Amino acid sequence: MGTVVEATNQGENGNVTEQKPTVVFVLGGPGSGKGTQCANIVENFGYTHLSAGDLLRAEIKSGSENGTMIQNMIKEGKIVPSEVTIKLLQKAMQESGNDKFLIDGFPRNEENRAAFEEVTKIEPAFVLYFDCPDEEMERRLLNRNQGREDDNIETIRKRFKVFMDSSLPVINYYDAKGKVRKIEAARPINEVFESVKAIFSTKNEKAD
């Protein structure tokens, strides 16, 4: 099976690594505003935004054998294997024609993280972490999703707990490597984007 990094494993000259795509993991609890900011980053910095959840849902909708398998696992309350999600991410990366990606909502846990690096041989350039107090995320979700049954207080709090329990070890792992860029996400959208812009301008290119 060809992978998105196939070309990077060949050749011995110094530019081999330059062919590897730039990957930024985007993490934050439900309601932290990461989706809005990803759209701004795409518009201003030319990244392709890949949401692991959206890719899984699209695969289910496609009616493929893989999609049926994913749907059955979710129905049974099982976790979709990391390799399945990673293959969907790789395919989307290959098909995009781009070399800069925001991967949103993945890795969800340490096992995802280790599998992604193992399979793709790609380490993220950095992790963009939208840090938002639970009360603020709760307020946003309740305001935004009135009438959606999965957004009652109890469910929302469960989602926060799952995010913290599973994603915090990933954030801590990359923080120890100096790769976490933490954004205070409780502020207004424009203020948050100013902080995001500063990170991307210094890290990758000049904003224009």
**Euclidean distance between CA atoms 39 and 30, whole angstroms:** 16
pLDDT in tens, 170-207: 999 999 999 999 999 999 999 999 999 999 987 544 33
Residue 85: inside a domain, yes or no? no
Distances, alpha carbon 137 to alpha carbons 126, 134, 157, 160, in Å: 24, 5, 10, 9
> What 3-state class would DSSP assign to 174?
helix
Residue 46: inside a domain, yes or no? yes
Residue 124: inside a domain, yes or no? yes
pLDDT in tens, 57-76: 999 999 999 999 999 988 88
Q: What is the pLDDT of residue 6?
A: 41
Give the range of the structural domain holding residue 193, as residue numbers without chain letter: 22-50+101-198
Helices first, then strands: H and E counts in the chain: 8, 5
Residue 206: inside a domain, yes or no? no
Give the pTM: 0.82
Residue 74: inside a domain, yes or no? no
Q: Provide the percentage of residues in the chain whose pLDDT is more than 90.
A: 65
**Euclidean distance between CA atoms 27 and 134, whole angstroms:** 15
Residue 182: inside a domain, yes or no? yes
**Euclidean distance between CA atoms 164 and 156, whole angstroms:** 13
The helix (run of H) or strand (run of E) holding residue 24 is strand 22-28
* Structural domains of the chain, count: 1
195 or 79, greater pLDDT: 195
**Euclidean distance between CA atoms 156 and 186, whole angstroms:** 17
105 or 47, greater pLDDT: 47
Residue 112: inside a domain, yes or no? yes
- Output helix, strand, coil percentages for the chain, rounded to the nearest 5: 60, 15, 30
Residue 205: inside a domain, yes or no? no
